[in-house]
Structure 1
Amino acid sequence: MNKFVKYGLIGILVLGAMWAATYFIKTNSKSAITYETTKPFTSTIERKTVATGKVIPQEEIEIKPQITGIIDKIMKEEGDNVNIGDLIATIRVVPNEQALNQARGRVRNAELALNTIKIEYDRNKKLYDRGVIANQAFVDLQLRYDQAEQELKNSKVDYQIILKGSAGGATNANTNIQATVNGTILEIPVEVGDQVILANNFNDGTTVATIADLSKMIFEGQVDEGEVGKLQVGMPLEISLGALGDEKFDATLKFIAPKGVEESGAVKFKIEGDVAVNDSILIRAGYSANASLTLEKKEDIMVIPEALLQFDRETDKPYVEVATGDQQFERREIEIGISDGVNVEVISGLEMEDEVKVWNKTEPIKRGEEEGEEEEGEES
């Protein structure tokens, strides 16, 4: 082999090595990251909280019997609308044997007393007609006779009430259970044949029906102790009901509990709000609901996306990087205000014309790199 061929082979090898090195450098080197920038802008920020709870009637009236007995008939069903005086159910009286016996004895005593006074009255009436006895004496006797008659009537009525629950033919008998308010029957917890008792000093009595006006609803929920201090009676609420999809209802906060209740290690405070009910939409009692409350609101303030913020590891103070030239940035500490989780208020440290560095920019992956990574994964 002559020296020209030898030098030619060496030259080819050198050129090949240089080409391979250049290709390796190009394929393994990363291009410099180019950061985008954005400017502060003017916006409105609302800081809200959500209270979970339910929607219930403003008042629920429990209808209880006026006498002890057994449910004989039920005329209404749950969900029916009723007016004051509408008959809901009737009761069949099961009289107490002791009370019935006492009432019967009172009637007999009244009859005996009346018979006795009647004999004396008839005798003195003849004497009075002859002018034998004084007028005052006969008037006193007349009063005693009338009282005896009235006592007999009263004892007979009491006996009928104990025996049958009413004094024969009364239109508003104790055995009739009637609506005391206008509204909708929410619940009838008894059935025909159930025994019921009237309210007394030792028992609340049996509830025969529960009635409420579904046009007057309130939201009842709870808020955390960290937010209750920012609430005020009269604040607007936005109520959303899971059962009604996207329907929203306006409400007004009317009550904040003065005492909290501890639940799972957190202190919760009860709140209530009057809900503006749309007549075209039926809201059922007990719907689960969420109430959105605006705790703080600022309009026309300078804001930046919250993702642009960085925090010093030692002082934990927020800062951003502001452009000073082409891809040149300087750190600038800022003071921030309220945030809605997307944008944050800038109180000081920035001007509207400042270009703020957008962090965490990611490079698009090239198609060749993806294929190479996939091949390496298959080989492994």
Structure 2
Amino acid sequence: MNKIVKYILIGVLVLGALWAAVFFIKSNSKSAITYDTSQPFISSIEKKTVATGKVVPEEEIEIKPQISGIIEKIYLEEGAKVKAGDLIALIKVVPNEQALFQARGRVNNAKVALGNAELDFNRNKTLFDKGVVSAQDFQNIQLIYDQAKLELENAQNDYQIILRGSAGGSSTANTNIRATVDGTILEIPVEEGDQVIQSNNFNDGTTIASIADLGKMIFEGKVDEGEVGKLQVGTPLKISLGAVEDVELDAKLKFIAPKGVEETGAVQFKIEGDVEEKDDVFIRAGYSANASIVLEKKDSILVIPEAVLQFDKETDKPYVEVAVGSAEEQKFERRDIETGISDGVNVEVISGLTKDDKVKHWNKTEPIKKGEEETETE
């Protein structure tokens, strides 16, 4: 009887162990992952970079006064189209008292000198007519008299310029601020009543207005030092404007700065490109813009998706896994390859693969089963 019980207990233990083993295997086993594959294909790749910047006029002219004073009248507004010579503003002269006093004194001195010269001239003319004074002496006296008249005229003109800003109120008076070129007024940074300073050797002077031709626009941007070496003058650009959606302008690179400027730890080089405008698009000065630049382009080359690449942990060289045998066998072997340019989606294959190879999409994961998902959630 004891032997029978003993055998029964042993049998129960064996069955329990078998059941536990089966349960453990079933609960921890996962189905094999079936990897997708794709074949290399022939395509074209463009390696691009984007330069951020803005669209500005090719030339912007600042109009500055030739005399100091106060803005008496502004005749035009920002955005107005002007021709060279159009009147923009009028300056009221506030004369310097010391300079005005000196100019008035010079006029008085010139009048006294002219009076003396005139008396001398008239006296010697009478003697010359009688033959008492030689022609040479009379010519010298007449020259002094003529010079005295010119000196008075010059002194009076200087006095009027200091007092009113103009000697005769002509269209070229210093008080009249006129456009020097054809274009559009971009900005008038002064208002009526503002005091302005003339342009001289020690001061740039106050800007009355800035004028530019909006028909000649350029793109100004910056590129990183790692890409500037691949740029060439004449390279086509595609300009997209931040303020105008779904519009792309053509441009051509015309300038690459010979010297870079360090910004936030990176060296940036300034570039410029002539923008070809469209009749149906009005471009305002200062629009933010991005320029797409093709750094390198290759046509009809063998490529693979960049996502299938793997990199050796020690050498950091690229490789892929290529299917060997049938698709059902899911057997793969490592294949070292040499790559070329990439556009971020596809990469050029220089060597190591053919069009007939089937490359493993290695990063596929097995879907989580419903029961396992509920367990993880708990």
Q: Same fold (TM over 0.5)?
A: yes
Structure 2: how far apart are the matches of 1:64 and 1:316?
Answer: 62
- SS state at 1:302 partner: strand
Q: CA deviation at 1:28?
A: 6.0
Equivalent residue letter for 1:85: G
Deviation string, structure 1 residues 30-82 (Cα, Å, up to 9, x no partner): 33222222111011111111111111111111100111110000011111111
Corresponding residue for 2:350? 347
Q: CA deviation at 1:182?
A: 0.8
Corresponding residue for 2:297? 297
Deviation string, structure 1 residues 311-364 (Cα, Å, up to 9, x no partner): 122222211122221122221111111111100000011111111122222344
Residue correspondence of structure 1 range 278-357 to structure 2 within 5 A: 278-326=278-326, 327-357=330-360
Deviation string, structure 1 residues 284-305 (Cα, Å, up to 9, x no partner): 1111111111111111100000
Equivalent residue letter for 1:244: V
Equivalent residue letter for 1:195: Q
Residue correspondence of structure 1 range 103-114 to structure 2 within 5 A: 103-114=103-114
Equivalent residue letter for 1:210: S
The worse-fitting range, judged by mean Cα deviation, of 54-63 and 134-143 is 134-143
Q: CA deviation at 1:130?
A: 2.0
User: Does residue 198 of the first structure (1) align with residue 198 of the second (2)?
Assistant: yes
- Name stretches of at least 5 consecutive residues in structure 1 with no aligned partner: 1-16
Structure 1: how far apart are the matches of 2:192 and 2:176?
Answer: 14
CA 1:229 to 1:322, structure 2 compared with 1: closer, same or farther past 3 Å? same
Corresponding residue for 2:185? 185
Equivalent residues of 1:71, 1:192 under 8 A apart: yes
Q: CA deviation at 1:194?
A: 0.7
Q: CA deviation at 1:238?
A: 1.2
Structure 2: how far apart are the matches of 1:370 and 1:34?
Answer: 19
- SS state at 2:243 partner: helix
Equivalent residues of 1:40, 1:353 under 8 A apart: yes
Corresponding residue for 1:40? 40
Structure 1: how far apart are the matches of 2:83 and 2:46?
Answer: 45
Corresponding residue for 1:12? none
The worse-fitting range, judged by mean Cα deviation, of 276-285 and 19-28 is 19-28
- SS state at 1:244 partner: coil
Structure 2: how far apart are the matches of 1:372 and 1:39?
Answer: 34
Structure 2: how far apart are the matches of 1:60 and 1:331?
Answer: 62
Residue correspondence of structure 1 range 39-188 to structure 2 within 5 A: 39-188=39-188
Equivalent residue letter for 2:348: E
Corresponding residue for 2:8? none
Equivalent residues of 1:234, 1:252 under 8 A apart: yes
Deviation string, structure 1 residues 107-158 (Cα, Å, up to 9, x no partner): 1111111111111111111222222222222222222211211211111111
Q: CA deviation at 1:87?
A: 0.6
Q: CA deviation at 1:22?
A: 8.1
Superposed CA RMSD in Å reads 2.3
Structure 2: how far apart are the matches of 1:280 and 1:99?
Answer: 56
Structure 2: how far apart are the matches of 1:40 and 1:266?
Answer: 37
Equivalent residue letter for 1:145: Y
Equivalent residue letter for 1:353: D
Structure 1: how far apart are the matches of 2:259 and 2:229?
Answer: 12
TM-score of the aligned structures, taking structure 2 as reference length: 0.89
Structure 1: how far apart are the matches of 2:89 and 2:257?
Answer: 38
Corresponding residue for 1:216? 216
CA 1:377 to 1:331, structure 2 compared with 1: closer, same or farther past 3 Å? closer
Equivalent residues of 1:309, 1:320 under 8 A apart: yes
Equivalent residues of 1:53, 1:220 under 8 A apart: yes
Equivalent residues of 1:197, 1:205 under 8 A apart: yes
Structure 1: how far apart are the matches of 2:37 and 2:139?
Answer: 113
Equivalent residue letter for 2:66: Q
The worse-fitting range, judged by mean Cα deviation, of 182-191 and 165-174 is 165-174
State the number of aligned residues: 362
Equivalent residues of 1:215, 1:279 under 8 A apart: no
Structure 1: how far apart are the matches of 2:149 and 2:318?
Answer: 96
- Name stretches of at least 5 consecutive residues in structure 2 with no aligned partner: 1-16
Structure 2: how far apart are the matches of 1:201 and 1:318?
Answer: 64
Q: CA deviation at 1:191?
A: 0.8
